Structure 1
Amino acid sequence: MDLSSVYRAEYGRCVATLTRLLGDIGLAEEAVQDAFAVALEKWEVLPPNPGGWIVTTARNRAVDRFRREATREERHVHALLLHQPDDRPEEVGPVRDDQLRLIFTCSHPALSPSARTALTLRLLGGLEVPEIARAYLVPEATISQRIVRAKKKIRDAAIPYRVPGEAELPDRLPPVLTVLYLIFNEGYAASTGPLLRTDLSGEAVRLARALADLMPDEPEVLGLLALLLLTEARRAARVGPSGELVTLAEQDRTLWNGELIAEGHELVRRCLRRDRPGPYQIQAAINAVHTDGPATDWPQVLALYDQLVAHTPTPIVALNRAVALAEVHGPAAALSVVEDLDIPGYHLLPATRADLLARLGRTDEARAAYDEAAALAGNHTERAFLLGRRARLGER
């Protein structure tokens, strides 16, 4: 593991811990960034506990900086706060995990929904602005502005870093679920570099488990956890021996994680018994069908996508439904749907269109669509996959 890998794996945890210690999100992020800069200069080999080293260094540098800049009275107050014994009692409340606590803090109602999610992805997931922009399908400048505005709002409104009360948790839940979903997606299909980022997908699963322990009666929480588990269960089969992308239809199902599949299926059954369907539960049910038996029951998947479109009528859901539609009613029916969709910058739209055109024998149009998709794909593994499909069009 190199420093870059440590940064990706530990950044979110370190910021969350420093926020608890310092009581200021902006100061915590600056301190962690300073600590990584020091690590770049000093580390010849990785210390036994890289994350602990970063937290300690960041805390010390934050204290030194405050001592230089603060008045005598402010130094006295913060000395009392920053030098409490390590065995001081933890804050009492329903959220004990630092990262989960920070997610709830960043989902404060004073922030706009888009700002909440962008800020949390930056602080918790350690995602860079281009990665967040890809998740939102918006320009990078837009994401930068959202993050800056969110930090300013937290400072100007004096939004506290604290544990939400029991009554507040349900209202804070939707943006929290969104953040965990997007963090997992970045780990499952990274914007850049290797296709998979197991640090992010694993952390999203861990936080989803913590959230399910916190709110076991919320069906959408259970649905999200089931969705992540059933998707994570297929990770080992998603790339080939050379790191190439392997589609669902071509995956070796013996490589799937049976324990995660069984756990995910049980969570889906618990959701069905509650009979309060929501988008994450329906997506979990779709993945349960994909992982049930030796082949996918596509008519059942299509029926579930019909429900999902009713709950979440977005172009991306419509595109995913079109994939199932092609399996049930043929590529021509799906193409008529895809042609009406507009998702700027989303490489899977022309990629899906290319596949449908190829299946219909419209090779020249398929080749152009693959070119468009490859140009939009940020991940080199996905780009190589698309170009490989394009190269094989003549074989079809």
Structure 2
Amino acid sequence: MNRTLCTLGTLFLGGSLIAQSGIPEIAFSTSDVLKTPNDVYVGEVGGVGANSKGMIFVYHRAGHPYATLGDNRTFYRGGSRLFQFDASGKYLREFGQDVYGFNAAIGLRIDPQDNVWTIDEGASQVVKFDTEGRVALVLGRKPETISVRPNAPAGAAPGGPPAAAGPAGGFGGGQAGRAAGSGTPGSSFSRPTDVAWDRAGNIYVADGIGNNNRIAKFDKEGRFIKHWGSTGKEPGQFTGIKALAIDANDNVYAADLGNKRIQVFDAEGAFKSEFGGVGTPIVMCLTRGATQHLYVSHAGDDDGMEDAAIYKVQLDGKVVGKFGTAGKMAKQFGLANSIDCRNESELLVGERTNWRVQKVSLK
């Protein structure tokens, strides 16, 4: 059953069996960290993160989808929720209810100032919440499902007004059946997946698993600076960007799903290197401290789900260890879609198909 669930969760990934020989196994233990009241549930985990105080935040798919019909637009909400827990995993509160950008949770990151950022592939938006839980910044424009309007106003074209063209410096954020949003240059995404920051506070968005296949860079106030990337297999091209990480030297690591590799760029987008050996990379987390490592989750392949694992990788691409397999039991993972590694020896792993967050203690 687990094989079926993971396959359904990763139809867009593709993949083939990867070689596992010669990679040391890392000893580890796990525990279910979240404690919720009987009437509060965690669904498919899009993202999990912990702030400097140990507070845990989970962005997940467990709400009630609905649509609000207007004269000219249909505003829809797919049902994602943002929960906060204390350091022990005790449920504290939900915030962000009815935020326009909550639709299909796919990621969550916490920046050095403890702001919480949600990434939503359905809304094609990245939302920043300050430490009080207030919306502080929104990147991207939510696509509009205008065509489902039952009664268009007199004189309107069938299905609503035409979609706006993609802005200069960006691409139409509503491709693949969604109307593109208009806005400032670079502001339209197509199913974004991740966000990261350099030392100056500039914002980088993985854009994403839709049609754009680019990395967009903004200043710390959210003003568009530049983008790079396109669809393909060459250096600097992508077939789905699922995760980002930025090291202490401002090198940008991008998980290239379809090409089964990690590409490395400088902060201006110049290609530096690439490496594979981590299967289908679905999420990355970069440790802190003097010697940084990447933890990379392999999504699992259709012909080898038992090979799903989390890899520990040096920044030069050398895989130094791995742990975990696919499944529903303890020490197994069901599409590990998010990793928090603020503490290098104690990770938080959010799972899509198992609807849980495991605390992983590495030996």
Range of TM-score over shorter length: under 0.3
- The answer to which structure has the higher strand fraction is 2
TM-score by length of 2: 0.28
Bigger radius of gyration among the two: 1
TM-score by length of 1: 0.26
